[in-house]
Amino acid sequence: MRRALTPGTFDPITSGHLDIITRAAQLFDEVVVAVAQSAGKHPLFSLDERTALVRQVVEPLPNVRVEPFDCMLVDFARRMDAQAVIKGLRAITDFEYEFQQAALNDQLDGSVETMFIMSPPEYMYLSSSVVREIASLGGPVGQFVPPCVEKALRAKFA
């Protein structure tokens, strides 16, 4: 079985994330969406909340499952028996960061391949931090996130 991880903080999951996950699911037998603890980022949503939201969003995708993790990505990939890590790229700044991470992960465990999927133009500007900021100011976020995420954001900032 060809299995890939799509890791992220997903605080919250956006339509751009879902696009990458959906496209990865077309390439692999199974995709594990790896929701990172990322305590250093001080997420708005708890790990349990983020994991639950991602599960709701990917529920229609039969070969996708969601797992939280709080260890090194290569260790988690090994535990999940994943052959690849799939990362989405929006802009050159993403590439610089992700290229460094891929090289580091290769040094830690060369058996896990990193693959990049380019974001389509309609999501190249989209990030979780932008969505959080718009939501915190009472702005509309429905065009950027699935309905369950919009509802959760409204509740957080009510």
Active site residues: 17, 41, 90, 128
Query: Quick check: helix, strand or coil at residue 8?
Result: strand
Q: CA-CA distances (angstroms) from residue 70 to 17, 40, 76?
A: 20, 12, 8
- How far apart CA 79 and CA 69 sit, in angstroms, is 11
Take residue 89 and report the two structure tokens written for it: 């790229």
* Residues 6 or more apart in contact with residue 121 via CB below 8 angstroms: none
* Residues 6 or more apart in contact with residue 113 via CB below 8 angstroms: 83, 84, 85
Element spanning 69, H or E: strand 64-69
- How far apart CA 143 and CA 147 sit, in angstroms, is 9
